[in-house]
Amino acid sequence: MTDTPDTKYPDRSRPGARRLGIGLIAAALCLGPLAALAQTQIYDARTKKWVDYDKKKARQYFARNNQVPEAFRRQAVPFRTAEKPGTIIIDGNQHFLYLVQPGGQAIRYGIGVGREGFGWAGIVRVGRTAEWPTWTPPAEMVARDPNAAKWAAGMPGGPDNPLGARALYLYEGDQDTIYRIHGTVEPWTIGLDVSSGCIRMNNDDIVDLHSRVEIGAKVIVLMQGAALYKGV
């Protein structure tokens, strides 16, 4: 199941979301060929070569190891920044989310991010959070996907819900951007460009992040893909 921004409300009610939409369209039109150059690679210790890491390889790796490659697992890393502890930084190109800690450190989590044409950038904040959130498919998904149509009024939270165990709702000022940081029912997709703009994490990781962040926390989303900036 493909996750999407929670489009419970129409875009025209939210200027921030409308600007984002324009940015995404522009990104899709202008950056398709360049964004296509981005490819996750992992190091194969057996052959000592970097190899492309796509959906097929990700599924195989997860089936063999029951976890994602080590680089995408939660870990403390050095992080030089003037940002305050508690700030979230999202590097969609490298598929990492950083939670700034004191002492030049950060907790790094692996993430799945927007597929080609769905990347975005901006400085937003955590407006609210939810445990086992409800997922409401967007109208276009309801129209094309019978499985989504049965949840047109909202899918209750639970282990089969594509938003996973927790969700952090990203706001620009007081406006919901429609983007979220959330869990997933497809843990093998961490490290890939798969979503419609949301940032997905393994359920264990989103539960951990949720327990550490405060409402209002600053979230810096770095530009994903090539050089077109249309922030929120």
Partner 1 sequence: MFFGRPSGIGDKGGHPIPQETDDRQTIGEERTVVSKGMLRSKGFVAAALALAMIGGCQSPPKPEDMARTSLQTAPADLQLLCAHAVAGTAQVDSTKVLPTSSRALDATSYSVDLDAGGRKFNCVVDSAGSVKSVTPV
Known catalytic membership, residue 182: yes
Question: Which tokens in the block code for residue 228?
Answer: 């077109």
Tally of CB atoms within 10 A around 23: 19
The dihedral sign for the CA sequence 6, 228, 205, 190: positive
In the bound state with partner 1, the residue whose beta carbon lies nearer, of 1 and 220, is 220
**With contacts defined by CB under 8 A, how many residues of the chain interact with partner 1?**
45
Partners of 168 in beta bridges: 129, 181
Provide the mask over 92-111, with x wherever binding to partner 1 is found by CB under 8 A and - wherever it is not.
-xxxx-x-------x-x---
SS3 220: strand
SS3 164: coil
Residues 171-210 binding partner 1 (CB under 8 A) are 191
Residue 25: how many CA atoms within 13 Å on its side-chain side?
6
In the bound state with partner 1, the residue whose beta carbon lies nearer, of 45 and 63, is 45
Known catalytic membership, residue 30: no
Q: Is 69 in the site for partner 1 (CB under 8 A)?
A: yes
In the bound state with partner 1, the residue whose beta carbon lies nearer, of 157 and 225, is 225
SS3 143: helix
Closest contact distance (angstroms) between CB of 223 and partner 1 is 5
Question: Which tokens in the block code for residue 165?
Answer: 């165990």
What is the contact surface with partner 1 in residues (CB under 8 A)? 37-43, 45, 48, 50, 53, 69-72, 75, 77, 79-83, 89, 91, 93-96, 98, 106, 108, 121-123, 191, 218, 220, 222-223, 225-229, 231
Catalytic (active-site) positions: 182, 198
